[in-house]
């Protein structure tokens, strides 16, 4: 069964509901077993961090040693995935991470003959820009036009399941145009069940522009939005969200006319950009 994140031309990923989604990321990324994606290869430079794949942490595997060292410090630390004999270990349950040092709990101490491997992102220590994470365009497109007096979807975008983490931020931008002067018009942005933008403009207004920021901290979410027109004043608003980020999140761009009369409202452009959490002390 197709999930809401299903997309043509991408590798298939099974989401947490057992449905098929399209893999997220750029087309040049490598796909991980857990369905996430990232840069391929070992070293990195420029603004894209490096990626260590199938690295063997340094340390004696002798049933008593619990401390192992990675070649680089994972950045962000949450990018680290540790496997013991092919089984994924859990941070906070099987081990702790401090800089580039992995310390296993007693109950999870690697035994003689065990095989340890690790995958993680890291900054390029020889290039300051290598510690920076690149933003990701989730979608950017043009929308439709309507003369309806009921709220109508003019464009949409889906944030794939599981790619949003604590510290991440979404930036959403939208531009509407209004043709005619017989009717006012409205524009709306909905992220999941959360309304980020809902503004009605006068019949004399020809534009509606809006931006929204939506951020995650722990299990909480906050958002803020601003809208304006060619003559309409800037308005600001903010609120809290309760979206399930483990599931795909649809974003809808909607519009309508206030009354009939031959006018139309068009979604000229919309974009959603993800800024991933990145520690860079």
CA triplet 270, 228, 207: central angle to 5 degrees?
65
Domain range summary for the chain, segments of one domain joined by +: 12-131, 136-275
Q: Hey, what long-range contacts does 247-250 have (CB within 8 A, 24 or more apart)? A: 247/15, 247/16, 247/17, 247/161, 248/3, 248/4, 248/5, 248/15, 248/21, 248/158, 248/159, 248/160, 248/161, 249/158, 249/159, 249/164, 249/191, 249/192, 250/4, 250/156, 250/157, 250/158, 250/159, 250/192
Say which range, 68-82, 201-215, 245-259, has the weakest mean pLDDT.
68-82
Res 25: pLDDT:
62
Give the pLDDT confidence score for residue 127 in this predicted structure: 59
Omega into 122 within 30° of 0, i.e. cis? no
- 136-275 adopts what CATH topology? Jelly Rolls (2.60.120)
Contact 265, 185 (CB under 8 A): yes
pLDDT tens digit string along 14-49?
766 677 777 766 655 666 666 666 555 444 444 455
Q: What Å distances lie between residue 227 and 102, 211, 236, 275, CA to CA? A: 47, 7, 7, 21
- The Cα 201–Cα 234 span in angstroms is 12
pLDDT (tens digit, 9 = 90+) per residue, 88-145? Answer: 999 999 999 998 999 999 999 999 999 999 999 887 655 555 566 788 999 999 999 9
């Amino acid at each position: 069964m197709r999930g809401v994140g299903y997309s043509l031309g991408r590798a298939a990923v099974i989401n947490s509901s057992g449905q098929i989604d399209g893999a997220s990321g750029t087309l040049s990324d490598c796909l991980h077993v857990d369905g996430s994606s990232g840069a391929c290869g070992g070293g990195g430079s420029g603004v894209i961090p490096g990626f260590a794949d199938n690295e063997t942490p340094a340390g004696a595997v002798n049933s008593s040693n619990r401390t192992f060292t990675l070649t680089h410090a994972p950045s962000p630390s949450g990018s680290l995935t540790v496997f013991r004999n092919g089984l994924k270990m859990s941070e906070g349950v099987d081990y702790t991470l401090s800089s580039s040092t992995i310390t296993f709990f007693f109950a999870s101490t690697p035994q003689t003959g065990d095989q340890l491997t690790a995958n993680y992102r890291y900054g390029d220590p020889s290039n300051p820009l290598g510690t920076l994470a690149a933003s990701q365009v989730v979608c950017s497109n043009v929308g439709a036009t309507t003369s309806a007096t009921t709220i109508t979807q003019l464009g949409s975008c889906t944030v794939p399941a599981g790619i949003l983490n604590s510290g991440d931020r979404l930036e959403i931008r939208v531009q509407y145009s209004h043709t005619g002067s017989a009717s006012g018009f409205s524009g709306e942005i909905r992220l999941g069940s959360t309304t980020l933008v809902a503004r009605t403009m006068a019949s004399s207004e020809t534009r509606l522009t809006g931006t929204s920021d939506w951020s995650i901290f722990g299990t909480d979410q906050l958002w803020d939005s601003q809208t304006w027109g060619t003559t309409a004043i800037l308005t600001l608003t903010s609120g809290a969200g309760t979206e399930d980020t483990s599931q795909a999140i649809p974003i809808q761009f909607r519009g309508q006319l206030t009354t009939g009369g031959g006018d139309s409202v068009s979604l000229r452009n919309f974009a959603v950009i993800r800024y991933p959490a990145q520690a860079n002390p």
